[in-house]
């Protein structure tokens, strides 16, 4: 495919790239210059099949016409409107369309610009909610080991990925963590939800006993932990967290930045597991990754608790310059419309059995120690090279890119999360490519 886009920036040093081994990258850059549907185009004109929806965000595939058009039109019509004490119609419209597809009871929306900001927003809502309810002693926040909740201070405090936390001092005070649920000895090669580990939810009871419920504001978890390498919750685990939080008056926050918008074959993971939290944090797929935007969905109980006192007073002292930005709102509306027209929020459920079978056919290939999957998310865990963790999976990532496939690796885990428009033959291509890479991998 030919393109008129500039192919090589003149100097790579100025841009300090995020979550990247900068020196290594800049010696042998990997760049995309165009994308369409299931494929990227590289600087040298090669097609690369997108096995990861960009970074888990382009759920409808790339450069979808409705979304492109909506952004173009909006940019020409109303570029920006002040977010505080002023409004514009599309932000209200998008909030309504989100509530339409959200689990019943989550009726109000705060807008942000990313998953990280959505997490901070949700944690602040939780603290303020208890305070306006007269329970200001509820200040503790509970996360989980291996959790990823973005990179801001609240998110890394409740998060549980050591490399993302250890450089940054004391973080938020008053945070505790539940154990993660990964158990290769008992659950390796589980298809869908693993059988063992439900009782790990009871660790929350232990934490509540230790600190007393009257000091705890909220529990935040990813329904399926994505970034850490796709950890799927054991059978009944999330329901048990819901039961324990409800019993103790603690808010439950689901971080659905990855699981939202059809990734598991349901609109939200909450629908998949039949467990409704008090807040859902989302981003990524909300605008198909095209314009930065995030959101926090909250119950009427939470929202209404703030809507008291004199009406001229701001109810919640929080918000961003770009909360509900017009172009992001237009992109969000067009994205939800695309999902609806093409049935994408449930298409994952149709494709999941094929995806599962294809993925598990890699069992027995060299270095593979686990394969797991749910909806259109999959992971292949590799045995690390002794003394050099991450190297083996990273080598697979580079080889895949060179072979025409985009995967994501974290530690020695290969994660897959293809756009929800994927066809069976493209699933075959992903798995065949991985098979040949694994065979040749050191
Ligand atoms: N919560 C969860 C559950 C996430 O997965 C965030 C919050 C933060 O979102 P922002 O928009 O601030 O990045 C995320 C983001 C990976 C990967 O490699 C995962 C994410 C982002 C980039 C890469 O798995 N998750
Ligand atoms: N820093 C300064 C000096 C600001 O004036 C603002 C917003 O007005 C911010 C940070 C926050 O920026 P944003 O609203 O885009 O998050």
pLDDT for 2:
52
- Please tell me the number of the ligand nearest to residue 113's CA: 1
- With a 6 Å cutoff on the Cβ, whether 321 touches ligand 2 is yes
Residue 11 is assigned to a structural domain of this protein? no
Give the number of other Cβ atoms within 10 Å of residue 40's Cβ.
Answer: 21
Q: Pocket of ligand 2, candidates 294, 321, 328: which has the most ligand atoms within 8 Å of its Cβ, to mutate?
A: 321
Give the number of other Cβ atoms within 10 Å of residue 271's Cβ.
Answer: 19
Domain termination site, one of 317, 342, 367: 342
Identify whether residues 276 and 397 lie together within a single domain. Answer: no
Question: Which is more confident, 442 or 381?
Answer: 381
CATH code of the domain in which 393 resides: 3.90.1150.10
| CA 77 – ligand 2 centroid, Å | 25
Identify whether residues 235 and 315 lie together within a single domain. Answer: yes
| CA 149 – ligand 1 centroid, Å | 7
pLDDT for 6:
58
| CA 191 – ligand 1 centroid, Å | 24
Q: Look at strands 294-299 and 279-282 and give their pairing.
A: antiparallel
**In which domain, by residue range, is 405 found?**
22-51+343-440
pLDDT band at 234 (very low <50, low <70, confident <90, very high): very high
Question: What is the rounded CA–CA span in Å between residue 155 and residue 132?
Answer: 23
Identify whether residues 144 and 90 lie together within a single domain. Answer: yes
Q: Provide CB contacts within 8 A for 205, sequence distance 6+.
A: 244
Residue 208 is assigned to a structural domain of this protein? yes
Q: Look at strands 32-36 and 39-42 and give their pairing.
A: antiparallel
Q: What is the pLDDT of residues 394-407, one digit of tens each?
A: 999 999 999 999 99
Q: Pocket of ligand 1, candidates 148, 260, 290: which has the most ligand atoms within 8 Å of its Cβ, to mutate?
A: 148
Mean pLDDT of 54-78: 98
pLDDT at 425 over 70: yes
Question: Atom of ligand 1 at shortest distance to CA of 292?
Answer: 11
**Which region, left, alpha or beta, applies to residue 211 given φ > 0 means left and ψ of -120 to 50 means alpha?**
alpha
pLDDT at 411 over 70: yes
pTM for this one?
0.96
Residue 250 is assigned to a structural domain of this protein? yes
Residue 16 is assigned to a structural domain of this protein? no
Residue of the CA atom closest to atom 19 of ligand 1: 227
């Amino acid at each position: 495919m030919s393109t008129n886009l500039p192919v090589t920036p003149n100097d790579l040093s100025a841009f300090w790239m995020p979550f990247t081994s900068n020196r290594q990258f800049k010696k042998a850059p990997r760049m995309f210059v165009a994308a369409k549907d299931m494929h990227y185009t590289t600087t040298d004109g090669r097609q690369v099949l997108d096995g990861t929806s960009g970074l888990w965000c382009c759920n409808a595939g790339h450069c979808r016409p409705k979304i492109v058009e909506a952004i173009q039109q909006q940019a020409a019509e109303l570029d920006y409107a002040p977010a505080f004490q002023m409004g514009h119609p599309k932000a209200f419209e998008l909030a309504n369309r989100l509530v339409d597809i959200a689990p019943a009871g989550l009726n109000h929306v705060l807008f942000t610009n990313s998953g990280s900001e959505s997490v901070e927003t949700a944690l602040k809502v939780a603290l303020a909610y208890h305070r306006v309810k007269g329970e200001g002693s509820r200040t503790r926040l509970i996360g989980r080991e291996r959790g990823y909740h973005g990179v801001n201070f609240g998110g890394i405090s409740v998060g549980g990925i050591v490399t993302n936390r250890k450089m940054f001092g004391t973080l938020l005070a008053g945070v505790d963590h539940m154990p993660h649920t990964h158990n290769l000895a008992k659950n390796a090669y589980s298809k869908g939800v693993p059988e063992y580990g439900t009782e790990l939810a009871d660790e929350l009871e232990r934490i509540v006993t230790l600190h007393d419920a009257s000091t705890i504001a909220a529990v935040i978890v990813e329904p399926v932990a994505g970034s850490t390498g796709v950890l799927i919750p054991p059978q009944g685990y999330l329901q048990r967290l819901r039961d324990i939080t409800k019993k103790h008056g603690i808010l439950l926050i689901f971080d659905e930045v990855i699981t939202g918008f059809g990734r598991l074959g349901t609109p939200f993971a909450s629908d998949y597991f039949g467990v409704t939290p008090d807040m859902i944090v989302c981003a990524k797929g909300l605008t198909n990754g095209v314009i930065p935007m995030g959101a926090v969905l909250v119950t009427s109980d939470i929202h209404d608790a703030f809507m008291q006192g004199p009406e001229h007073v701001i109810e919640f002292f929080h918000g961003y310059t770009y909360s509900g930005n017009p172009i992001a709102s237009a992109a969000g509306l067009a994205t939800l419309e695309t999902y609806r027209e093409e049935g994408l929020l449930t298409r994952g459920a149709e494709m999941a059995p094929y995806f599962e079978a294809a993925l598990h056919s890699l069992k027995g290939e060299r270095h593979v120690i686990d394969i797991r999957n749910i909806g259109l998310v999959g992971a292949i865990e590799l045995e690390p090279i002794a003394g050099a963790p991450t190297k083996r999976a990273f080598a697979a990532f580079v080889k895949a890119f060179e072979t025409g496939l985009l995967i994501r690796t974290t530690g020695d885990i290969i994660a897959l999360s293809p756009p929800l428009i994927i066809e069976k033959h493209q699933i075959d291509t992903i798995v065949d490519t991985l098979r040949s890479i694994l065979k040749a991998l050191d």
